[in-house]
Structure 1
């Protein structure tokens, strides 16, 4: 049996006493990008760090997700820091860091020469990481980039092989994921197999525990098969034995093969596949290239010829292999110009010949080569969402961070391999001479950038950098894509971050709160700030004229004013707000000036529409039609943060939340057209919306749902059973909010300024009830107006609106000194009282449910399609800020890049908007999951 990689023995831990001697070098282990939630690996273990503390000071960025705790690194002699200091001259990580973090460290002391070691994913010219590569080049100075992937050393045959890689662990975890996936896929075929109970690899604390689970699963499968064979009354799988096929011959496939051995599979030759019968074990087959690749002329195979002239060869996988295997674990490399194992056309032919009973039902693509060797494998999965449904219902996994499912074991292995090269890099940082031995030569081969210059073999990347990189020359600044961000409020942070990942973007943040804008711009390149009062129309027009694309975070009523300036100056506008009737009136004028006024690019409206359009494209493509559409969306605190009146906290505009509770609504449910007046919306809420287990939700109808039949292409409203869009809240929200409405707190006519918060309530009630309410009688008046509602009274006390105790709630803000509408004053109060604490998180929830039928079926054969999103905020940004701010930014960047052709006033209903934005959101972990029953 092939053994797993052996771990390099490490020297004993050393204490922090070794730091008493001043080192020239400072080594820093950075925190991985926090958006990579599952990235728990580390380049050096605490034991490895302990071996370095006599020659370098070691800083470790604090991280509670890392597989080894901060305390272990501290015990090894490292200093735990919130951020790496400017003294660090050797920076270690696993994956690529955020570009802004690289710039921040370089800018903290530009004179420090630094070496960066990571999997940078830049040396193949990957477009998405060109900004990262450019960060190490001029005007930066003294930066060296060493890529873990390029650390190679000659093997016994003289060929260069990687010395520090996770391939074996990727294959090992991939095999576990494949077996678990096979259990799910078989269940969908009506077969309950013991593999269904095999937990995914990340649930095990160690490789040994994972191996033990594989053995138990294999034993259970064998016992089940033997029991079926001995008892004729037990049914057998009509589709034959479970057969796992494996491609590749490197570390990845070795890892997979070793784990399949742990599961006790029975290995067979590929030529035996057509004749396999159900047996006591799971069958497995390692596929040599010649089993599915052959010369077009005579069916032969010659390895040297194949790599020299791949065009002479074709794949026979569809005919020779696919009909006989249950699951494919794909671990073989592929590059453009070589034959695909299966093309899309091959897959269509395979499914047609199988007539719905094809045997291959699961695929784990460990290579994660999108539209590569397996063309139908067309997007990545994640550890959170490990599978998508491919052609013919095949379950596909394609997660590119599989080794992090066994983070401690894979990190220990990798650390042992990497340590000699880190030690040598520390020596170089300490000024020791190059000895040009194999370690030095390996490090030289792995350098992409040295002293902020591309190495000769990587000079071709400069052209990519030049295309992506904006010059620092003032005279050439117009070549940048100029983006103006109007506003600096709650959702601005993620938008700014998304814009500034693009070095070809020059961002201006214009706000009436200059301190807030400057906080967003601090320590960042390619961004400036400007104080702007939007009521100064001339200043607004001048500011708009200086940009190419304007992104407005201003209140929705101000968008029309901005839009008029955009039309005047020929600039494009992107907002997250609903397209208002006033904005629609500008459509013809905008088209005449070739201007796009793009609204509804946030969460709701925004991601909800984009997700619906993606589903509708497939519905139309498959010749089907929609008979029902029900959609829910909402932003809420996590349960732990919801123990306040309204069970709600504010991650976006408080006034917008209050105003939404007063809108008229129109929709169709159960074949009935319904209209709800704004004054009745809260009372006519939906008290129990069951979507996510454990969440006690209620809902409000969201404006006019009926136009979405046309917007989404759902068909005629007369032909739809349901057409409904709703807003989600925790149960109890509508009842309290309706009480506040009754008391006048949502009133929109100004009242005189009050001297106290109870006085403000008295003034609001006086206006709403049409008679004077005195502050000294306030409690009795509230009870009379609301029927002695104890819950409402308690909420008013919490909000400091009744004389006496405020139940320990946060202190209220100062009262306005001028007359103001109650809804504005109340919004100000709630924004203070219901603000998130620093350790509290929010979540956004989205759920679409479509009922579809074949277009010519007469309504028979109804199918359910859902799209759902549950996104939680983190320490960097709220979920609302991420989903609204990033959606806005990604849409605006597509407009700036010329990728959106539509003009006039519209929402995100064309594919050149929604497809690209959804792809970018998925890349940062905001994924709308679809299910097709």
Structure 2
């Protein structure tokens, strides 16, 4: 087929002629799976899907299919669909598509040939690299620099916005084999159970149930299950002494478990609840019983408290499994669909299994275990081997049969492939033609999140894998799968000498995304200095260019020595500590970057910093940070176009996503709670509707803006944000007299300010210490409220309602405050459904109410697993033109950033902004010296560009 050159094509739209240029012919390559995987018969796209693709893109697409006699669809079917059958993919291929990871030698061949002609290529597969799997490090290294232009898209990471079972926003896999793994796993488990029962001297109809691969199709497999179920029901009830019915237990609640459940339904099992398993001992033997086993039936608190999902995911180490004691003794077979991570309790430990066997002797009921998750020594610790379709099980503890096959769906290869193909096809289309069409869709976002490597570089959040690749490349080539030598197009990673050194002070809530950015740079050595060493070490994740340092910032000598060893210092410490750090930076001629406002104390160091050629750069977070950078980008254009700003109104805020906001204050904390509480008591100074306003800190909450209409779906209110007036000079807006509005505000959900004002009136936000150290949370409320009265008498618990009424003076406000205080377990003898009373009082140097309250809220109003936060930013400028002063132009800039399972939106917008700005300083791209904010183009332009590259985009509209 002749590849087309760039050909202009004319089209008419709205009577205006436009020219659309068609790029070179695009080639999709469907590869054969690794020949060593004898049973892998699946395919990523069926012949029918290929036919559809070619029909839709018949002038722009060709498809190459590597010949394979093992694949579930024949070469002939693909040829009839219009594909070109080839012995191996050619250099023309733009996208290489497959199921499992290919042999590294095949990858090298294509890459090496493509680089000779500058070929950029995308690879789509289940690569098994994003978790740092050591055995596939050579594969990951193949796609990375010095390789050019390779992009790796992992099927496992293709996720789209969804709604979780709890009704909250989440992301769900769009192309997976989980259901088929569960369905086939159930078939294997049942067949294996028949064999296991025979070993016990019992012949069950399950013995004659064909394994799924022997039937070939899902329909035939279901039919065989139904027939087997009929035989079981028609069998006579056994009269043998001690013979019990077969009981199947299924763990998990996802697609895997649902696949198993659906097949058991075809078998016509009788479903029972977990609490009724013990009663099945004498049930009829001509029935097969099954149970979907919920986590709540076997996970309990170590202190005896019942299972609570939120608490379990927050503190899994406080829970244990009773499965071996309360569930396993009553099961014949376990079908495990629950994955495992090391921080969670195992379902059955080796010790549990030993106890189970010792208590039952050689007569334990459990005879078969099918671990569909294939977590070796994972949630079922005794499962310590993988098995294959050829050898599906091995004999485990107590003689039970155990199966752990990692390619179960291939037993029903055609059906599983058809399902997967239908799901993956839209994303293959987008990967092929998105750049040509030049438009965006939800599928683009899905593809972007699934990229591990793009154009030879690791993307976030996968940068932590780079040290693993470097370590592999620097190892003995004879031990590597493919030698990292120059003639193969690969070079060994350079040594660690000469790296640029960054010192990160602090390891708290926003540190993670900053660390990810720094770690992605192979030429950077990062030291995380913290007084919480375990927290700092947790950020390393095995990366060789990061180290942790134990540091008490109060030890001035140690701080100075640590600063002296760095090139650039990045501080996540509380703002009052920055002047101390800055003085050491000046003494040792080191640059400093922070996310905090430039305080008067910091500003006083300006001249000293200039004299030592040092930059002290502040306000590089979200607010302050992205807000100022986005404003300066707009104002740069305003200046170039000779226009004038007549109004500037800005709002910014970090909030829980609406479905996670049904709590007091409608707020949850993704950054410092104390900072939120103190910010709500700052003085404010601004101009609105040509009137200059001053608000004292103690009035700020009561003088909030009750309705801020920016996004229709969000019921927002606002608070004035400190000093707005200096921004006329900072941003270069001109004289304040020439501005109708100059306002910066903080966004909250409606109801926040009234309730927090109640807490303020009760003394919970005060910064001066109590006279007495509270002994409980109820005592804390009583001590704080007592001090707000005009006498020193300590109120009793029975008096608290009257005191609250007296201090708040409004029946509705009082009622809302009482409900919130009870929810927080601050009222005497109150009970809280979230057990906040179990949170211990912090051991403070001084009994300051705001510190106690911040500690309580940080625990009580924390995000649960699966909940997301969001960061909002909205600027509105009004401009006048020098040629037509009567014509007003409106410009807006807006950002909505959602957190995900890897990081909160607040930590991303603050941490990554800080990191990207710091790297510009480290690389010598910022020439300014002294105390600065992000107002120079050399700072904001590159930082905003880096943020956009990782998906944090401020959208502008000029009207």
Q: What TM bracket, shorter-length normalisation? A: 0.5 to 0.7
Query: Take 2:105 and 2:558, find their aligned partners in 1: how far apart are those partners?
Result: 45
Structure 1 residue 793 corresponds to structure 2 residue 818: yes
Q: 1:663 to 1:89 in 2, by over 3 A?
A: farther
Query: Take 2:151 and 2:774, find their aligned partners in 1: how far apart are those partners?
Result: 66
Specify every segment of 5 or more residues in structure 2 that has no aligned partner in the other structure, as ranges: 1-8, 10-21, 46-62, 75-97, 112-119, 154-173, 176-429, 452-480
Query: Take 1:796 and 1:630, find their aligned partners in 2: how far apart are those partners?
Result: 35
Task: Write out per-residue CA displacement over residues 858-900 of structure 1, whole angstroms, 9 at most, x where no aligned residue.
Answer: x311100000000101111110000000000000000000000
Which residue of structure 2 lines up, in the alignment, with residue 579 of structure 1?
598
Contact 1:104 1:523 in 2 (8 A): no
Q: Matched residue of 2:539: which SS?
A: helix
**Offset of residue 755 of structure 1:** 1.5
* Superposed counterparts of 1:886-905, under 5 Å: 886-905=912-931
Structure 1 residue 761 corresponds to structure 2 residue 781: yes
Structure 1 residue 804 corresponds to structure 2 residue 804: no
Specify every segment of 5 or more residues in structure 1 that has no aligned partner in the other structure, as ranges: 30-42, 55-76, 121-131, 137-144, 150-163, 165-203, 206-382, 388-395, 412-448
Q: Matched residue of 1:880: which SS?
A: helix
**Offset of residue 27 of structure 1:** 13
Query: Take 1:606 and 1:784, find their aligned partners in 2: how far apart are those partners?
Result: 42
Query: Take 2:735 and 2:73, find their aligned partners in 1: how far apart are those partners?
Result: 72
Q: 1:85 to 1:868 in 2, by over 3 A?
A: same
Which residue of structure 2 lines up, in the alignment, with residue 878 of structure 1?
904
Contact 2:123 2:151 in 1 (8 A): no
Q: 1:471 to 1:733 in 2, by over 3 A?
A: same
Query: Take 2:137 and 2:799, find their aligned partners in 1: how far apart are those partners?
Result: 72
Structure 1 residue 826 corresponds to structure 2 residue 838: no
Q: Matched residue of 2:686: which SS?
A: strand
Match of 2:872 among 845, 854, 863: 845
Task: Write out per-residue CA displacement over residues 201-233 of structure 1, whole angstroms, 9 at most, x where no aligned residue.
Answer: xxx99xxxxxxxxxxxxxxxxxxxxxxxxxxxx
Task: Write out per-residue CA displacement over residues 334-382 of structure 1, whole angstroms, 9 at most, x where no aligned residue.
Answer: xxxxxxxxxxxxxxxxxxxxxxxxxxxxxxxxxxxxxxxxxxxxxxxxx
Query: Take 2:637 and 2:917, find their aligned partners in 1: how far apart are those partners?
Result: 22
Q: Matched residue of 1:560: which SS?
A: helix
**Offset of residue 805 of structure 1:** 3.4
Contact 1:26 1:90 in 2 (8 A): no
Matched residues, number: 571
Match of 1:524 among 543, 568, 574: 543
**Offset of residue 908 of structure 1:** 0.2
- TM-score, normalised to structure 1, is 0.55
**Offset of residue 777 of structure 1:** 1.8
Task: Write out per-residue CA displacement over residues 224-263 of structure 1, whole angstroms, 9 at most, x where no aligned residue.
Answer: xxxxxxxxxxxxxxxxxxxxxxxxxxxxxxxxxxxxxxxx
Q: 1:766 to 1:923 in 2, by over 3 A?
A: same
Task: Write out per-residue CA displacement over residues 132-178 of structure 1, whole angstroms, 9 at most, x where no aligned residue.
Answer: 315x8xxxxxxxx99589xxxxxxxxxxxxxx9xxxxxxxxxxxxxx
Which residue of structure 1 lines up, in the alignment, with residue 423 of structure 2?
none
Task: Write out per-residue CA displacement over residues 531-565 of structure 1, whole angstroms, 9 at most, x where no aligned residue.
Answer: 11111111000100010100000011001110000
Query: Take 1:9 and 1:104, find their aligned partners in 2: how far apart are those partners?
Result: 25
Query: Take 1:615 and 1:775, find their aligned partners in 2: how far apart are those partners?
Result: 57
**Offset of residue 103 of structure 1:** 9.3
- TM-score, normalised to structure 2, is 0.54
Q: 1:402 to 1:830 in 2, by over 3 A?
A: closer
Which residue of structure 2 lines up, in the alignment, with residue 720 of structure 1?
739
Contact 1:115 1:146 in 2 (8 A): no
Q: 1:94 to 1:399 in 2, by over 3 A?
A: farther
Q: 1:692 to 1:397 in 2, by over 3 A?
A: farther
**Offset of residue 855 of structure 1:** 3.2
Match of 2:625 among 597, 606, 629: 606
Structure 1 residue 486 corresponds to structure 2 residue 505: yes
Which residue of structure 2 lines up, in the alignment, with residue 296 of structure 1?
none
Contact 2:104 2:482 in 1 (8 A): no
Q: Matched residue of 1:544: which SS?
A: helix
Task: Write out per-residue CA displacement over residues 286-340 of structure 1, whole angstroms, 9 at most, x where no aligned residue.
Answer: xxxxxxxxxxxxxxxxxxxxxxxxxxxxxxxxxxxxxxxxxxxxxxxxxxxxxxx
* Superposed counterparts of 1:530-549, under 5 Å: 530-549=549-568
Match of 2:586 among 548, 554, 567: 567
Task: Write out per-residue CA displacement over residues 31-81 of structure 1, whole angstroms, 9 at most, x where no aligned residue.
Answer: xxxxxxxxxxxx999x99993999xxxxxxxxxxxxxxxxxxxxxx989xx
Query: Take 1:868 and 1:708, find their aligned partners in 2: how far apart are those partners?
Result: 19
Structure 1 residue 451 corresponds to structure 2 residue 483: yes
Query: Take 1:636 and 1:627, find their aligned partners in 2: how far apart are those partners?
Result: 30
Aligned CA-pair RMSD: 4.6
Query: Take 1:879 and 1:757, find their aligned partners in 2: how far apart are those partners?
Result: 31
**Offset of residue 786 of structure 1:** 1.4
Query: Take 2:767 and 2:571, find their aligned partners in 1: how far apart are those partners?
Result: 24
**Offset of residue 740 of structure 1:** 0.4
Q: 1:684 to 1:538 in 2, by over 3 A?
A: same
Contact 2:123 2:150 in 1 (8 A): no
Query: Take 1:737 and 1:842, find their aligned partners in 2: how far apart are those partners?
Result: 20
Q: Matched residue of 1:870: which SS?
A: strand
Q: 1:803 to 1:22 in 2, by over 3 A?
A: same
Q: 1:101 to 1:768 in 2, by over 3 A?
A: farther
Query: Take 2:716 and 2:752, find their aligned partners in 1: how far apart are those partners?
Result: 9
**Offset of residue 758 of structure 1:** 1.0
**Offset of residue 921 of structure 1:** 0.3
**Offset of residue 925 of structure 1:** 0.5
Contact 1:89 1:113 in 2 (8 A): no
Which residue of structure 2 lines up, in the alignment, with residue 867 of structure 1?
893
Q: Matched residue of 1:582: which SS?
A: helix
Contact 1:470 1:505 in 2 (8 A): no
Q: Matched residue of 2:145: which SS?
A: helix
Query: Take 1:521 and 1:815, find their aligned partners in 2: how far apart are those partners?
Result: 30
Q: Matched residue of 2:649: which SS?
A: strand
Query: Take 1:9 and 1:480, find their aligned partners in 2: how far apart are those partners?
Result: 42
Task: Write out per-residue CA displacement over residues 404-428 of structure 1, whole angstroms, 9 at most, x where no aligned residue.
Answer: 5998xxx9xxxxxxxxxxxxxxxxx
Q: 1:634 to 1:932 in 2, by over 3 A?
A: same
Structure 1 residue 733 corresponds to structure 2 residue 752: yes
Query: Take 1:101 and 1:20, find their aligned partners in 2: how far apart are those partners?
Result: 15
Q: Matched residue of 1:133: which SS?
A: coil
